[in-house]
Amino acid sequence: MLRKLRAAIPSPVPAGLGSPEASQPTIVVLSGGVEVGVVGESHYQDALLAIVGGKRPQSVRIPTQATLVPEPDNPYDPNAVAVYVAGRKVGHLPRPAAQAFAPVGKRLAEQRQIGVCSAIITGGWDRGDGDTGHFGVTLDLARPDQLL
């Protein structure tokens, strides 16, 4: 399903990436084929709420595009890779996926490129009486050796 959602229009490059004097990084659409669940979305529910436009009575399933941004200075994991949608941080790659993606991210950064991939935002219902659900994000990424 995610493979069908791959789009040619990338999401915006996150704010603060690159300097105003420098040209923006080149966008590279990464290959897909494997569903990868984003972690840490619970910390970014406000961002997801803003992206989706609010909770609804039924769970949402919204195709979108995600930008992957390595965070080598992350105090918890030097291989951390942040996931952005519509210029807003929505979580991170899981630790094993981030570690596998690290060489790809480094190569992209060296070439002033940034990777984007298809994604789906799900969940986010509010049926009243406390019956609510958090948003989640799933990415469509190939194995690291097949990403580029």
The Cα–Cα gap between 125 and 49 comes to 11
Q: What share of the chain is helix, strand, coil (3-state, %, to 5)?
A: 25, 35, 40
What's the rounded Cα separation, in Å, for the pair 80 and 23?
A: 24
Q: What is the pTM of this model?
A: 0.83
How confident is the model at residue 1, as a pLDDT?
39
- Write down all domains in the chain, each with its CATH number in brackets: 2-7+26-146 (3.30.70)
pLDDT(141) > 70:
yes
Are residues 66 and 48 in contact, defined by beta-carbon separation less than 8 angstroms? no
Q: When comparing pLDDT for 53 and 8, which is higher? A: 53
Q: What is the dihedral of CA 38, 42, 48, 54, to 10 degrees?
A: 140
Neighbours of 57 (CB within 10 A): 9
**pLDDT digits 0-9 by tens, 53-86:** 999 999 999 999 999 999 999 999 999 999 999 9
Average pLDDT, the chain: 87
Q: Answer yes or no: is pLDDT of 25 > 80.
A: yes
Indicate the pLDDT class of residue 147, thresholds 50, 70 and 90: confident
Question: Where does the pLDDT of residue 144 fall: very low under 50, low under 70, confident under 90, or very high at 90 and above?
Answer: confident
